[in-house]
């Protein structure tokens, strides 16, 4: 579903992506792990078309999205959805307007249809009767769930979650984890979960890639990760079990 070849991206003199190679199967749940600052969010923003690479190709369902025109870009954007690291809800819109935002802009639906789809999407994430509330009235965990409802409202083929459990207590994180699994099953969606928290991604992913130094240094089945002999992977795996990720450069 997603194929990335030789992807490079620099900001000024900082090389963030240095030849990323990545393959994500249709209908799988794939996690991308790596230390804070290694470029995970930057990679996701390339997949959704918010950033353009300096070099390389990104195929979504067989179509190379690098350098395509605005019209094709819009078609691709309606196939892929992203739950941003900070939820990124619009503060000036209520929950209903936030969740229905893309539907209202890009779908020829009437108000009643949009309202119904918004309600359905909120129910899917376990939220009821909060349509008229504003983001500032919600807890961090609720905001995350509203952001997920917004991402699934137009029923994309692919959903990208950027640090979905960050900043949420362990029970709240488990609620989000079960949601990711349930939505994947219910909507037959391809899910990409980006996180530096290996314990949480292990609960949802089938396959895992690890990013380091602007490249993918491991890609494989979740259960094979702990069998990997690469010292850099081993350090990340054991480090994440013991607590915070080591600040030492690997």
Ligand X SMILES: Nc1ncnc2c1ncn2[C@@H]1O[C@H](COP(=O)(O)OP(=O)(O)OP(=O)(O)O)[C@@H](O)[C@H]1O
For Mg ion, the binding residues (CB under 5 A) are: 41
Among ligand X, Mg ion, none, what does residue 196 contact (CB within 5–8 Å per kind)? ligand X
Residue with smaller CB distance to ligand X, 87 or 121: 87
Q: 5 has which bridge partners?
A: 57
Could you say which of 119, 184, 196, 222 contacts ligand X (CB under 6 A)? 196
Residue 98 binding ligand X, by CB under 6 A: no
Q: How far apart are CA 150 and CA 122, in angstroms?
A: 8
Tell me, letter by letter, the H, E, C secondary structure of the chain.
CEEEEEEEEEECCEEEEEEEEEEECCCCEEEEECCCCCCHHHHHHHHCCCCCCCEEEEEECCEECCCCCHHHHHHHHCCEEEECCCCCCCCCCCHHHHHCHHHHHHCCCCHHHHHHHHHHHHHHCCCCCCCCCCHHHCCHHHHHHHHHHHHHCCCCCEEEEECCCCCCCHHHHHHHHHHHHHHHHHHCCEEEEEECCHHHHHCCCCEEEEEECCEEEEEEEHHHHHHCCCHHHHHHHHHHHHCCCCCCCC
As given in the structure block, the two tokens for residue 66 are 């690098």
Among Mg ion, ligand X, none, what does residue 38 contact (CB within 5–8 Å per kind)? ligand X
Q: Shortest distance, CB of residue 249 to ligand X, whole angstroms?
A: 13
Residue 38 binding ligand X, by CB under 6 A: yes
Could you say which of 42, 118, 180, 205 contacts ligand X (CB under 6 A)? 42
- Which range touches ligand X (CB under 6 A), out of 39-47, 121-129, 142-150, 171-179? 39-47
Number of H-type helices and E-type strands within the chain: 9, 10
Could you say which of 22, 29, 31, 41 contacts ligand X (CB under 6 A)? 41
Residue 152 binding ligand X, by CB under 6 A: no
Could you say which of 3, 8, 16, 28 contacts ligand X (CB under 6 A)? 16
Residue with smaller CB distance to ligand X, 35 or 145: 35
Among Mg ion, ligand X, none, what does residue 225 contact (CB within 5–8 Å per kind)? none
Residue 249 binding ligand X, by CB under 6 A: no
Residue 250 binding ligand X, by CB under 6 A: no
Q: Shortest distance, CB of residue 192 to ligand X, whole angstroms?
A: 13
Residue 37 binding ligand X, by CB under 6 A: yes
Q: 82 has which bridge partners?
A: 160
Q: Shortest distance, CB of residue 186 to Mg ion, whole angstroms?
A: 27
Residue 39 binding ligand X, by CB under 6 A: yes
Interface residues toward ligand X, by CB under 6 A: 11, 16, 34, 36-42, 85, 163, 196
């Amino acid at each position: 579903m997603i194929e990335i070849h030789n992807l490079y991206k620099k900001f000024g003199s900082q090389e963030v992506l240095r030849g990323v190679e990545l393959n994500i199967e249709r209908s799988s749940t794939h996690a991308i792990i790596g230390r804070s600052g290694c470029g995970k969010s930057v990679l996701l923003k390339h997949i959704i078309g918010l950033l353009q690479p300096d070099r390389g190709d990104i195929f979504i369902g067989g179509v190379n999205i690098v350098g395509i025109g605005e019209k094709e870009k819009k078609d691709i954007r309606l196939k892929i959805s992203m739950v941003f690291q900070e939820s990124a809800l619009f503060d000036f819109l209520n929950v209903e307007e936030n969740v229905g935002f893309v539907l209202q802009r890009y779908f020829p639906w009437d108000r009643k249809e949009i309202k119904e789809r918004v309600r359905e999407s909120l129910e899917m994430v376990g939220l009821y009767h909060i349509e008229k509330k504003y983001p500032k009235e919600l807890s961090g965990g609720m905001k995350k769930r509203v952001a997920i409802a917004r991402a699934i409202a137009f029923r994309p083929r692919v959903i990208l979650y950027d640090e979905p459990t960050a900043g949420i207590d362990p029970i709240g994180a488990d609620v989000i984890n079960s949601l990711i699994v349930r939505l994947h099953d219910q909507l037959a969606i391809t899910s990409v979960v980006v996180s530096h928290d290996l314990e949480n991604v292990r609960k949802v992913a089938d396959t895992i890639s690890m990013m380091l130094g602007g490249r993918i240094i491991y890609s494989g089945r979740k259960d094979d990760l702990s069998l990997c002999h690469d010292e850099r992977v081993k350090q990340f795996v054991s480090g994440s079990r013991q607590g915070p990720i080591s600040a030492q450069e690997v």
